[in-house]
Amino acid sequence: MSKGAIIYPGSFDPVTYGHIDIIKRASKNYDTVYVSVLENSKKSPLFTVEERVKMLKDVTRDYDNIIIDTFRGLLIDYAKEKDVHMVLRGLRALTDFEYELHMAQTNYLISQGTLETVFLPTDLEYSYLSSTTVREIASYHGDVSKFVPESVAVSLYKKFGY
Ligand code: PNS
């Protein structure tokens, strides 16, 4: 059964095995998965948008229904431009839920009910994992090989000068 397209938006600073797990599962269930990196985040990212896109392309190159893209401004406007009506977010734990619920309800409201959000529970193996933790460990020159693919680990090591 055709399930159409879905947008998986995020900062991906950098992409982790947790994100990759969600992307792979989405690719099985949707015809097209847009993995969309937010460009104008108020956060100051470690990696540039170009670097994040390159890492995402590298780790998803075996999947032909995944499109790595970027967006600015509101997610609802980007979704409209792509003519996609579904957003995907991963849920790691109850602590994620409040923020994610708020975002999903806001997007539903400001899109006048045209943009839905679906949640995928993160695989238990990755429920502790976040890009923030990975950046922190790498900044102290720790081993991040259990959290990110080798190409991403190399980018982190370069960024932190080792
Ligand atoms: O990986 P992140 O940082 O948790 O992703 C958050 C993201 C990019 C999905 C969210 O901040 C977003 O969609 N920002 C775009 C601005 C927007 O549409 N805001 C209104 C929704 S509350």
Confidence of residue 42 (pLDDT cuts 50, 70, 90): confident
> Count of residues for the chain?
162
Instruction: Please state the atom number of ligand 1 nearest to the C-alpha of residue 13.
Output: 1
Res. 94: pLDDT tops 60: yes
User: Which two three-digit tokens encode residue 83?
Assistant: 């003519």
Catalytic position from the list 19, 52, 89, 135 = 19
Instruction: Please state the atom number of ligand 1 nearest to the C-alpha of residue 11.
Output: 1
Domain 5-127 indexed as CATH 3.40.50.1110: no
Q: What's the whole-model pTM score?
A: 0.97
pLDDT in tens, 76-90: 999 999 999 999 999
Q: What is the mean pLDDT of the chain?
A: 95
Q: Using the mean position of ligand 1's atoms as its centre, give its distance from the Cα of residue 105 in Å.
A: 13
* DSSP class per residue in 3-42: --EEEEEE--TT--HHHHHHHHHHHHHSSEEEEEEESS-S
C-alpha distances out from residue 30 to 2, 97, 115, 162, Å: 7, 23, 16, 39
What does the pLDDT read at residue 1?
Answer: 57
Task: State yes or no: is 92 an active-site residue.
Answer: yes
Decide whether any atom of ligand 1 lies within 6 Å of the 107 Cβ.
yes
What is the rounded distance in angstroms from the CA atom of residue 74 to the CA atom of residue 115?
12
Task: For ligand 1, atom 20, name the residue with the nearest CA.
Answer: 74
Domain boundaries in the chain? Answer: 5-127
Task: For ligand 1, atom 4, name the residue with the nearest CA.
Answer: 10
Task: For ligand 1, atom 17, name the residue with the nearest CA.
Answer: 74
Q: Using the mean position of ligand 1's atoms as its centre, give its distance from the Cα of residue 152 in Å.
A: 22
Task: State yes or no: is 135 an active-site residue.
Answer: no
Q: What's the mean pLDDT in 38-45? A: 85
